[in-house]
Amino acid sequence: MIVHRNAIWPLYSTTWKRKSSIFKSCSPMGQIVTKKQTRKALMRVVKCSASAIGLYNHCPFSYFMHYILGMESKAGKAALQGTIVHQALEWMTKLRKRGKTNVDPMWLLHRAWDEHTAATPEISIRKVTTRIDKETGEFKEAADFKKCRVALETVLNDPYYNPYKIKPIDSERWFALEMPGEEWQCLDKDGKLHQFAVRGFIDLVHEIDEDTIEIADWKTGSRKDFYTQQPIDEALLMREVQPRLYHLAAYFLYPQYKNILITFYYTNDGGPITIALSQDDLAMTIAGLHRFFTTIRRDTLMRRNRWWTCRMCSFNNNGVCHRVWSDLHTLGGEYVEDRYANLDLEGQLAIGKPVEA
């Protein structure tokens, strides 16, 4: 669902002035980028997500390759395991909405595993080992599948989040909010005018009572910040961009609810962390988005952060990161855009030099 500014504001005519003033108070009018200026700038931006903002804050050059050039990045085993668990929980939520809760969740997990592993044969992941269980006579469960099973069982054993035992409203809800006003206008590479948009998916939205909803985001990884390795608690979560974008989206998608709770559920590391954001937090969220929007359009350096996380970056591992960086500073931006735009993994391996372990 794409929410356009020309359609969204009339729907809330009773509070139009209050909501529009939020944007004006925290987003000072900036100069509109001209077509000539935009064609010279490489860091164009017409939309963003929580993952895009996080990647830019960590490594602007990686953001440039992935979101501006459109180069494909390789997903790892952990990402695939998370996708499998998400798929099983999504199916459970949809079945609950249809009143069909007699389907075995473990059958759904096996089905999700088979579908996603078949679609990504390049990722080495195992469901069973080569060892046989003496009691059952079957192959023993592999650690890869066990992680997915434990994650699903953790949610199933929690009556407050088990999809079969709650009152779901939406599952994997897509949102796209276009920010209103001239200060949010931007041009794409073809010179077409756009409104800057915030996009993303919400894993689960369920009703607590007639005034309250809760947004749940399933996390199958560690309960630590990926880049800083700092343990995630309520205070840190309040400063994260992802729950704030969820809150902003829910504020417009579900206006009939007064209270919005945001929960990050760490299925393999500690369970749920819940925070509550108010309407006063919207101004801070939009101010942060505007800061990202203006900063990235002025970024001409596109610094490349060389850090320990580079060893987990597919652009670094296949050698294409250094190649694009070198060409950008020697042959120029136009050459890089023509040469590397929308390059898939096979093409990257063909031009990059693998990094020796």
Residue 266's beta-bridge partner residues? 219, 271
Is residue 302 very low, low, confident or very high in pLDDT (cuts 50, 70, 90)?
confident
Place of tokens 């023509």: 338
Instruction: Give the pLDDT score at 37.
Output: 37
Phi, psi (deg, nearest 5) at residue 108: -65, -40
Question: For 108-118, what is each residue's pLDDT tens digit?
Answer: 999 999 999 99
Number of other CB atoms surrounding residue 5 within 10 Å: 16
pTM score of the predicted model:
0.83
In terms of Cβ atoms closer than 10 Å to its own Cβ (0-12, 13-18, 19+), residue 178 is buried
Counted residue by residue, the chain has a size of: 357
What are the boundaries of each domain within the chain? 2-16+31-73+169-298, 77-156
Asked if residues 78 and 115 have their Cβ atoms less than 8 Å apart, the reply is: no
Higher-pLDDT residue of 161 and 314 is 161
**pLDDT of res. 356:** 45
Check if the beta carbon of residue 61 is closer than 8 Å to that of residue 325.
Answer: yes
206-262: pLDDT as tens digits: 999 999 999 999 999 999 887 778 899 999 999 899 999 999 999 999 999 999 999
User: What pLDDT was estimated at residue 41?
Assistant: 52
pLDDT at position 352, please? 64
pLDDT of 121 higher than 60: yes
